Amino acid sequence: MKVVVGISGGVDSSVAALLLKQQGYEVIGLFMRNWDAAINNDINGNPTLNNNICPQEQDYNDALEVCKKLNIPLKRIDFVKEYWDYVFTYFLDELKLGRTPNPDIMCNKYIKFDMFLKEAEKIGADFIATGHYARIVNGQLLRGIDDNKDQTYFLSQVPKEKLKKVLFPIGNMLKKDVRLLAQQNNLITAKKKDSTGICFIGERNFKQFLSNYLPNIPGDIINIKTNKIIGKHIGLMYYTIGQRRGLNLGGNSNRGFVVGKNLEKNILYIAFEDDEEYLISDACIVDNINWYGKKVNKCTAKFRYRQKDNDVELKWYDDYVLVQYKQGVKAVTPGQACVFYDNDICLGGGIIKTVLKNNEKLWYL
């Protein structure tokens, strides 16, 4: 059986390829170039160079070394235009609406498990594989056994029919064991630092990066409790619900947090330590639903990647679901994913559109 593995230049995809090779598959590596590194700048505005090699090229060189070590071929494919059209444009459009998008989820949906799958099929692949911490058992998407690394949240928009041709070789492993296996097999990526944040931004100044694509429109910061102006924001797109850092509120900076936005008036609303009730909602409307099986009325859900599971009740409508959580949850944020679970089984997910409390829309947008 022929498997095309997405080799990113990191330790997870390296070990995924190693395991498949050990299991007797015919393994082909494929490196995806999704962003034009020539337009990348570091935190000081300079091109991101590492010994005159941009990080993307360094990743490719590491991927090449891994494939040489494993004696498998490595192909390189350019998805820069597709990434721009389907992921980055979505990212910018959501920011314009005052929401907090998750482009990595859309990258999985449109690039890694669509464009990449089509490319693999062109070269006769029976399966594709990636280094995600997730499992597929009896056709169902399950959490990876490493609770700290489980990535089903980011896979929740991948259609079920695409998952039929996907393997997750490291889904049954702990991260520490993945690194140990890489070290035992002398892979160059064994001790390589994990990438963090949005892939196309990298180790750069987020505000400076975004200013290349969206205009900064400063406005007032208002205390939601007193309705008094307490500062100036640098553009609503730079803030998300629950954010505490970078608010520039003088002596109050350490105590304040974002609770809402008014796009029409260009206002950022802030509350303080004793007023966390402004962050709490009890329901939300979720659209863009991708569901894997029979619809249920009760399950658990995560509204952010690192969040614990929350008990929820679901009311289904034609093109959205009303998600209710009587216990209340902090900082549920429009634009983020809401992902549903039945224990380890990922039931599907959608995108948070509107956040409610006592049947009324909150101040979020």
Active site residues: 107, 199
Q: How many CB atoms lie within 10 A of CB 69?
A: 16
Contacts of 74 (CB under 8 A, 6+ apart): 7, 28, 29, 30, 31, 63, 64, 67
> d(Cα 327, Cα 208) in Å, to the nearest integer?
39
> d(Cα 80, Cα 212) in Å, to the nearest integer?
18
Amino acid at 272: F
Residue 347 DSSP one-character state:
E
First to last CA, the chain: 50
> d(Cα 225, Cα 228) in Å, to the nearest integer?
8
Residue 237: name the closest of 257, 213, 255, 254 by CA: 213
In order, the DSSP letters of 48-106 are: --BTTB-HHHHHHHHHHHHHHHHT--EEEEE-HHHHIIIIIHHHHHHHHTT----HHHH
Q: Which residues of 206-245 are buried (b: 16+ CB within 10 A; e: fewer)?
A: eeebbeeeeeeeebbbbbbeeeeebbebbbbbbbbbbbee
- Residue 48 is encoded by which pair of tokens? 């991101």
- Report helix, strand and coil shares of the chain as percent, to nearest 5: 30, 30, 40
3-state secondary structure (DSSP) of residue 250: helix
Asked if 138 and 292 count as a contact pair (C-beta separation under 8 A), the reply is no
Asked if 351 and 286 count as a contact pair (C-beta separation under 8 A), the reply is yes
| Segment 250-258 long-range contacts (CB within 8 Å, at least 24 positions apart) | none
